[in-house]
Amino acid sequence: MLLQKTNFSKKFTSFTKNFIRFTSQKFTPFKIAVCQLKISHEKKENFNKIKKAVEESKKNGADITVFGESCTCPFSRGSWLKNAEEIPRGETTEFFSNLAKQNNISIISGTFPEKEDEKKVYNTCCVFDDNGKLIAKHRKLHLFDVDVKQFRYHESDLILPGQNLTIANTQKFGKIGIGICYDLRFPQIAQIYAQHQCKLIVYPSSWMRPTSKHWDLLLKVRAIDTQCFIVGASPARDEKAKFVCHAHSQVVDPWGLVLLELDEKEGIGYAKIDYNYLEEIRQKIPVLNQKRDDVYCLEDLSKKQK
């Protein structure tokens, strides 16, 4: 499901009326696997690692498995242009789709370069159900154009921004909101996902090291302010890579507690996602129902004060 670009305030107001009602739909608790892999320059090697990780996750009882940002090739201009492909026609889509189907497991692919033309790509994440069907595709919305001390990144030299928010509508896990890395810094997206009854928001990421404290905090803050389960999935750290990421993939529950945190090395972590617990939190502190969208606007302030 792609949410078209909208006027935020208008949308907020209209959704308030339907806002987070406790739906009668019940979901069985499920197990999520977060696969933090070291990325090689060879796509085939990465495919092999991903395949093994999916098989291992399945063996360990996972229902859904998640990978990090840039999980089929390292994050660099040359590598991204070389490995860019169309979606759904490219080999990476086919690879993930077959893997999901063969292992009867849902997969959130992490991200890989989606070809636009010879010079530009999108940073794209695909979601597959356990029949291998591609059910959602998210293109990174906010591009990481920043200057932090000696770290200067300008993703928009290579990457085009996505234009849509993305919710994967699944049978087993309900609605899953997708964001990519820097998208985590923009609370508007997560708020809209929560308004659309998402209970799980997944951010395939490759966070930079100088802002690692923000990673820890933002995952918790998004969990608390949306009362959703939040997943941040990263590749493992590679000190020799052009972009050395923080790693530390995490799953945070709707109370803001960390259910799972990996270190910087390769590994697979598991977390139980129980929406009954989420409903308990939403009942105890019903901020989502108590929002005052009718006053979150200064437009009419002068009239109101008269």
Ligand X SMILES: NC(=O)CC(=O)C(=O)O
CB 19, min distance to ligand X, A: 29
Distance in angstroms (rounded) separating the CA atoms of residues 160 and 151: 21
Give me the amino acid identity at 129: D
- CB of 211 vs ligand X, minimal distance in Å: 3
- CA-CA distance, 77 to 51, in Å (whole number)? 25
Residues acting as catalytic residues: 69, 140, 181
Residue closer to ligand X by CB (options 181, 190) is: 181
CB of 136 to ligand X, least distance (A): 20
Q: Considering beta carbons, is residue 65 or 206 the nearer one to ligand X? A: 206
Would you say 261 or 279 has its CB closer to ligand X? 261
Instruction: List residues binding ligand X (CB under 6 A).
Output: 144, 181-182, 185, 206-208, 211, 214
- CA-to-CA dists, residue 189 to 86, 184, 203, 222, angstroms: 26, 8, 11, 10
Query: HSE (CB half, 13 Å, CA atoms) of 119?
Result: 2
What letter represents residue 278's amino acid? Answer: L
CB atoms within 10 A of CB 225: 15
Task: Please report where in the chains the tokens 């189907």 appear, as a residue.
Answer: 101
Q: Smallest distance from the beta carbon of 55 to ligand X, in angstroms?
A: 29
